[in-house]
Amino acid sequence: MAEATGSSPAVDVRTPGPPGPAQPLAHRAPRWRRVTRSYGARLTLVALLALAAAVGILTYANPAPPGGRGFWVIVESRAVSVGTILVVATCQGVATVIFHTVTGNRILTPSILGFDALYRVIQTSLVFFLGAGSLAAIDGLGKVAVQSLLMIVFASVLYGWLFTGTKADLHLLLLVGVVLGMGFGSLSTFMQRLLTPSEFDILSARLFGNISTSHVTYLPWGALVCVVVGTVVWRRRHVLDVVALGRETATSLGVRHQREVMLTLVLVAVLISVSTSMVGPMTFFGFVVAMLTYQLVGSSEHARTLPMVVAVAAATLLGAYFVLRHVFYAAGLISVIIELCGGLVFLLYLLRKGLR
């Protein structure tokens, strides 16, 4: 035994030693850090693009001498548009991402629940019953607050009615939302046909999203609601990660799926109502920025998608506003261009999924 031990080498190569893949494991941590740095770099780049667009909107083509009183007066007037864009971008982006989470379908948008159609009915009813002058006569913070409250009450009643029973079904909710949206659209179209050409022309200007129509008095309360709801969503980001796994998995992990879905839909209603009341309906904007966010992040983790979607939405809307205002001198067409591009992206996405 001693001779065999003496004749054998000190360490037998065939004997199992330390785990073989020790060296590859040493390279996994840097790879994980590279992925994290890649996300941080992308988020920083998008945020810098948004900041550059905001600075361009505030300072580009300012006729007053830099640093003078007139220069800062113009900057303050333009800051209202920048603040409105940031609020709308945050509301649309966050609402679309969490709506995709609870529905489990990235093709749907919050407008499927009928918020845009309800906004059109409210605006059309004002002109139909009170005349075109009513839009300017009662225009103000009170009108915006009432519109937002009506949308939130509508959503809360709808969700409460469909989610309080034992047969609560999210697909039934979406179907009811589509039917109500079609009904609201038909009602508004009927009333619009009975208007005079001048009244219809005034109404048409209100039915398209226009950042320039937002008033400075709308911005503080809109920003406050956006910050409060955004904080609630951010604090519940881990719960949303569990909800995204599905009803059975979320329930087995101790999450009350039905309650979380209803709460999230109410938060979506609040965000969309604020955005729509401030600048008007923007159907496909949230879909476009959500798709871009998913491509940039490559993950469904809300700790990553929520900051990125805010940055992407802000950069997209600020950049589009800067180009259309200072290059093409058509700032009022920003919603039309975004809806056109968003609709094309939506159709291409559907065709791509259909071909697969």
Q: What is the mean pLDDT of the chain?
A: 81
pLDDT-derived band of residue 26, with 50, 70 and 90 as boundaries? very low
Reported as a single tens digit per residue, the pLDDT across 108-161 is 888 777 778 888 888 888 888 888 777 777 777 777 788 788 888 887 777 777
The whole-model pTM stands at 0.82
Is the model's pLDDT at 344 over the cut of 90? no
What is the rounded average pLDDT of the residues 89-117?
87
Q: Say if residues 281 and 119 touch (Cβ distance below 8 Å).
A: yes
Domain residue ranges of the chain, discontinuous segments joined by +: 81-355
Q: Say if residues 53 and 82 touch (Cβ distance below 8 Å).
A: no
Please list the alpha-helical segments (H only) found in the chain: 2-7, 22-59, 69-103, 115-130, 133-137, 141-163, 170-193, 197-206, 218-235, 237-243, 247-252, 257-279, 285-297, 302-326, 334-355
Which residues are within 8 A (CB) of 60 and not within 5 positions of it... i.e. 6 or more apart? 322, 326
Check residue 70 and give its pLDDT.
85
CATH number of 81-355: 1.10.3470.10
pLDDT-derived band of residue 225, with 50, 70 and 90 as boundaries? very high
pLDDT-derived band of residue 11, with 50, 70 and 90 as boundaries? very low
In the chain, the percentage of residues whose pLDDT exceeds 90 is: 26
Reported as a single tens digit per residue, the pLDDT across 157-188 is 777 776 655 555 667 777 888 888 889 889 99
In the chain, the percentage of residues whose pLDDT exceeds 70 is: 83
